[in-house]
A = this chain, B = another copy of it.
Amino acid sequence: MPHVLHRAEIVAVGSEMLTPDRSDTNSLFITSRLNELGVQVAAKAVVADHAGTLTSVVRGALDRADLVVLTGGLGPTDDDLTRQAVAAVLGRRLVEDSAILDAIRERFERRGLVMPEINRRQAEVIEGAEVLANAFGTAPGQFIDLGDRALALLPGPPREMRPMLEALLAAQLAARSGGDRLFRGTVRLVGRTESHAEERLKPFYERWAAAEPIVSATILAARAQIELQLWARAADAVRGQTAIAAAIADVAGEFGDDVVSTDGRSLEQTVGDLLRDRGLRLALAESCTGGLVTSRLTDVAGSSDYIERAIVAYSNQAKIDWLGVPERVIAAHGAVSEDVALAMAEGVRRLSGVQVGVAVTGIAGPGGGTETKPVGTVCFAVVGPGEAHLVRTANVPGNRTQVKSFSSTLAIDMVRRAVARI
């Protein structure tokens, strides 16, 4: 049986993360995933692109921890020192891997480019390391098993690091975590503040903590969405899955319509699936959100099945010309009003020949606020067949990008609520 890993240290490599306004966020994700396997993080470091410092930090971490996870410093430049530093600490050579070299060359060729000579360096592998494929970038990762200890070298960009870590956890690390498996569930909510949700969840937390297996929960709030992550550790799959399913049922019962999904799907995916299932197409009219609602909905693969078109009508003239909003409605109620939102949604629906129209108009700031309509005042409308009409005004907190982001969530969620009635 392999040595069970207990204590990890995380080392993020890169001078750019040592400036006053940058942080290493990779370590949060890595901590979360390691904790779930029962591995504690005892320390983490951010280190400049400086060979002596990096070597010393890695040596220290390897003295103390049985798992060292490094991120960053795998690029092709002189500043990218992670491979050399780890090789130096282990007293091992770096060997060029021709398969990796070919893959990097091909990656450049696919874009019509010749691989620059310096990228050769990314094909260097520490002797005895296992190569971790990188589906989203040139730099492969490396995993080095020392028996009683292990090191992982992962790339810095989160979109490359995360899938590589997931694969590493599933393959090399799961076997080293002691026998229990982790079971997870996710409930997404829109329409509650974090503290309100927390208050309603408290009695459940207590009940789950007393259950066997224990169900633990973390609440995350972002962009007006709440994500409740649930997990339980159990050796037995049926017991683990049952505990998670029961906890999900508790939350779903408590929050009703505010529950977006209980199966991990994002809000955008959930809305897309609702539209597709009902054979409906959506058209959008955005003002203050500046295209963000449409951009988020079209992040979902296959969204061309149900997204027909959108207008970003930033000026009043665009609202009149392209959405058929009557000039007198703007004059009477102002461009930021439920009447204008409704006229925009009706206009874009009619002119696009689709079943569902949604509109957002508001004041993203920092300018443009008034006493009666301060920055953050945002009006929404959804129009669809039958009873599927919703209009509302929200006071959205934060700065310009926060108002855009928060409002885009509320708009997408209104589509969800309206379409669910159809």
Q: Which residues of A contact B (CB under 8 A)?
A: 15-16, 18-21, 23, 25, 28-29, 31-32, 35, 40-50, 52-53, 56-57, 60, 63-64, 75-79, 107, 110-113, 116-119, 136, 157, 159, 193-196, 198-199, 202, 205, 218-220, 222, 229, 284, 286, 289-295, 297-299, 301-304, 307-315, 317-318, 322, 352, 364-367, 395, 397-402, 404
**Interface residue from B112, B219, B312, B398 paired with A310 (Cβ < 8 Å):** B312
**CB distance B307 to A290 under 8 Å?**
yes
Contacts of A304 in B (CB 8 A): 314-315
**Interface residue from B20, B42, B299, B309 paired with A401 (Cβ < 8 Å):** B299
Told that A21-B28, A76-B198 touch, could you supply 17 new A-B pairs with CB distance under 8 A?
A18-B43, A20-B28, A21-B32, A43-B45, A43-B53, A75-B194, A76-B194, A79-B218, A110-B395, A118-B198, A136-B402, A295-B404, A301-B365, A301-B367, A308-B314, A309-B313, A312-B312
**CB distance A119 to B195 under 8 Å?**
yes
A398 to B111 alpha-carbon distance, docked (Å): 11
A43-B45, A290-B294 are contacts. A218–B312 as well, Cβ < 8 Å?
no
**CB distance B118 to A199 under 8 Å?**
yes
A222 to B315 alpha-carbon distance, docked (Å): 31
A16-B220, A195-B119, A291-B292 are contacts. A53–B48 as well, Cβ < 8 Å?
no
**CB distance A116 to B45 under 8 Å?**
no
A116 to B197 alpha-carbon distance, docked (Å): 10
**Interface residue from B32, B41, B45, B195 paired with A76 (Cβ < 8 Å):** B195
A291 to B196 alpha-carbon distance, docked (Å): 33
A57-B43, A57-B60, A404-B299 are contacts. A318–B352 as well, Cβ < 8 Å?
yes
**CB distance A35 to B23 under 8 Å?**
no
**Interface residue from B23, B60, B284 paired with A28 (Cβ < 8 Å):** B23
Q: What distance in Å separates the Cβ of A284 from its nearest Cβ neighbour in chain B?
A: 7
Can you name 21 A-B pairs with beta carbons within 8 Å? A16-B229, A18-B42, A19-B31, A20-B35, A20-B218, A43-B45, A45-B46, A76-B198, A107-B397, A116-B193, A116-B195, A119-B195, A159-B398, A286-B291, A295-B295, A298-B314, A298-B364, A301-B366, A309-B318, A309-B322, A318-B352
Q: What distance in Å separates the Cβ of A18 from its nearest Cβ neighbour in chain B?
A: 5
**CB distance B45 to A18 under 8 Å?**
no
Contacts of A194 in B (CB 8 A): 75-77
Scoring A20, A21, A119, A365 by chain B CB atoms within 10 A of each residue's CB, the highest score goes to: A20
A35 to B21 alpha-carbon distance, docked (Å): 12
Closest chain B residue, CB of each to CB of A193: B113
A77 to B197 alpha-carbon distance, docked (Å): 10
Q: What distance in Å separates the Cβ of A280 from its nearest Cβ neighbour in chain B?
A: 14
A110 to B75 alpha-carbon distance, docked (Å): 58
